[in-house]
Chain A
Amino acid sequence: MAVHLRSEPVWVRWTLIGMALAFLGLFIFLPLSMVFITGLNKGIAVYFKSINNPDALSAIRLTLITALVAVPLNLIFGVAASWAIAKFDFYGKSFLTTLIDLPLSVSPVISGLIYVLMFGAQGPFGTWLRDHGIKIIFAPPAIILATIFVTFPMVARELIPVMKAQGNDEEEAALTLGASGFQTFWRVTLPNIKWGLLYGVILCNARAMGEFGAVSVVSGHIRGQTNTLPLHIEILYNEYNFTAAFAAASLLAMLALVTLFAKSLVEYRYRAELKAALRLENHG
């Protein structure tokens, strides 16, 4: 009897589960599968042809380069910033914390526009850059800059809570044992934050490859030169080239699936490790 009293009636449970499933199906599974269906509806040959053409390949290459530059830079920045914020007290710390979150609250259009205003022909650096033959706006450097800006908080936000929770004790212990600052970081801090760090990098990478708004503003949309994958998809779609657009979109969708898989794998590994430690503790 007690069991029945504690849980909801069967029909309530199934209605709730059904609603959740219907919602997921309608808003996530159906659109996602439409990407693949539309991409493949003219056959596998057309699908591969739309991916394997110079413009698409150039977009893929630029996307990869952008991520390859932005992610490591944000990794370094994220670790440094969260180290400073979590382990030290200094003047202006809360301001820095707010600043790190800024890109999340600013519209991506603004994130792109600030670089156009700064490095564009009318900007303070515009003339100097033109005189020295350096192209930033409407070229890959601006795309990378905008991507870094947008993905700025990803790693730091994952690490700050982890580092705060762990405190300074182990680092101080390492110092008293004669370790240098670098040895302390490499042997003590990094192993303790590795899962949080990996998690942050995965999210950062997904955002870097998928970013549309900020990149769109600074890119100039030059086909085969300054188009990233998301921009390439938009152009194809605007040209009513649905099959090619969705074929390229399927790549991004697959990236999302891989990210999701990697994310759960990291979470799973992390939990398994914790569980093993706890289990041994109970039996030991």
Chain B
Amino acid sequence: MSIEVKNIIKTFGTFKALENIDLKIETGELIALLGPSGSGKTTLLRIIAGLETADQGDIIFHGKDVKDAQTKDRNVGFVFQHYALFRHMTVFENIAFGLRVKPKDVRPTEEQIKAKVTELLKLVQLDWVANRYPSQLSGGQRQRIALARALAIEPKVLLLDEPFGSLDAKVRKELRQWLRRFHDDLHITTLFVTHDQEEALEVADRVVVMNKGRIEQVGTPENVYHNPANVFVLNFLGNVNLFHGRTEEGSADATTKKIYVRPHELTVTRQPVSARSIKAKISFINPAGSVVRIDAVASDGQSVQAEISQEEYKSLKLQRNEEICLTPKNIT
């Protein structure tokens, strides 16, 4: 089912949570809403689910305005950041909940419910926890049960709020790939909220970058990463290329206009190689990782970060406090 968000405005008191949000999501897409905290991404997700009402604007599901429809009638699967599993019910009953509360005439029989729950438990690879309580599960297991519960009502849209936010790094990576494969199999229109750039770029078909209640850019991961619409997007997505270290853009003021360069787009040499080269003094080297991260202070006092390969690092034999030259690659 396609989702159209039209000119949504939402304020909390004097705080503008969302300002004129327009967004169109095609059937079967996997979309990431990416932004720092307070950017309005969760609010937008909750408005789509009907858990929050917009001050203005329309939400259209497959050509039908659902602005005035209640949450329970929207048929969206929602996975909450902290899972929100029913603590007094077993895993089985949690997943069966959506089926048991259906109106009498469309409610499945006990056997049908049992079959459906078993099928969903198999789908999330947790069929052995049916009789446990949520408190007896690990974070990653709870997350998958929450997903199975949301899927039980066969939603046309799946909304996930920071689905991997409170999991540790390793589980998070596994579940992320699992979500991608899962989406490829089921093709439910899916929106997930995240503040993790890597997560968004790795999983989503398209990324919606949000900031301060506005959409900064919408595009494929490749597109937003390589052709950022503005400085904010560049900055926000910059961190991701240096997953094994940390990163910020290097600024080379060799020409009159400002040029933003990512750390891996800098060449490190002992001698200047072009007019654009700038001199800098190494303040820190982190050789642990797949690339070597170098922090340096340029002659004008600005701090610069660069990334070079292990081979380059070995052949250059760089030391702390040494003078180096940094040259941006591929600047046209």
Contacts and interface: CB of A to CB of B under 8 A. Distances in A.
A187 B51 contact: no
Given A170-B86, A176-B78, A178-B153, A277 B135 contact: yes
B118 interface: no
Contact of B149 (A177, A179, A192): A177
A284 B132 contact: yes
Contact of B86 (A173, A178, A280): A173
B17 to A, nearest CB: 15
A176 B88 contact: no
A281 B101 contact: no
B219 interface: no
A172 B132 CA distance: 22
Contacts of A176: 49, 51, 71-72, 74, 76-78, 150
Contacts of B50: 175
A179 B97 contact: yes
Interface in B247-279: none
Contacts of B51: 172, 175-176
Contact of B75 (A178, A183, A191, A280): A178
Chain A interface, >50% SS class:
helix
Contacts of B77: 176
Contact of A173 (B80, B102, B132, B136): B80
Nearest to A280: B136
Contacts of B49: 176
Interface in A160-179: 169-170, 172-179
B133 interface: yes
Contacts of B84: 169-170, 172-173
| Chain B interface size, under 10 / 10 to 19 / 20 to 34 / 35 or more | 20 to 34
A121 interface: no
B163 to A, nearest CB: 14
A188 interface: yes
Contacts of B98: 177-179
Given A281-B135, A284-B136, A178 B87 contact: no
Interface in A177-191: 177-180, 183, 187-188, 191
Interface string A176-211: 111110010001100110000000000000000000
Interface string A217-233: 00000000000000000
Nearest to B81: A169
A278 interface: yes
Contacts of B97: 174, 177, 179, 187
B104 to A, nearest CB: 12
Interface in B138-194: 149-150, 152-153
A174 B78 CA distance: 10
B82 interface: yes
Contacts of B70: 175
A126 B103 CA distance: 50
A26 to B, nearest CB: 44
A188 B75 CA distance: 19
Nearest to A171: B84
A221 B132 CA distance: 58
Nearest to A282: B136
Given A172-B80, A177-B153, A178-B102, A277 B75 contact: no
> Which of A175, A177, A183, A278 has most B Cβ within 10 Å?
A177
A183 B184 CA distance: 34
B72 A175 contact: yes
B101 A183 contact: yes
A278 B135 contact: yes
A180 B77 CA distance: 16
Contacts of A175: 50-51, 70-72
A188 B100 CA distance: 13
B101 A179 contact: yes
B72 A178 contact: yes
Nearest to B133: A277
Contacts of A191: 88
Contacts of B136: 277, 280-281, 284
> Which of A170, A178, A187, A188 has most B Cβ within 10 Å?
A178
> Which of B70, B77, B88, B102 has most A Cβ within 10 Å?
B88
A187 B135 contact: no
B101 A178 contact: yes
A197 to B, nearest CB: 13
A187 B84 CA distance: 14
Interface in A253-284: 277-278, 280-281, 284
A183 B51 CA distance: 17
A284 B128 CA distance: 12
Given A177-B149, A178-B75, 5 more contacts: A170-B85, A173-B149, A176-B76, A179-B97, A278-B135
14 contacts: A170-B86, A172-B78, A173-B85, A175-B72, A176-B74, A176-B77, A176-B78, A178-B72, A187-B101, A191-B88, A192-B87, A278-B135, A280-B136, A281-B135
Interface of A: 169-170, 172-180, 183, 187-188, 191-192, 277-278, 280-281, 284
- Report the 8 A-B pairs with minimum CB-CB distance, sorted nearest first: A169-B84, A177-B98, A176-B78, A173-B84, A179-B101, A175-B71, A191-B88, A284-B136
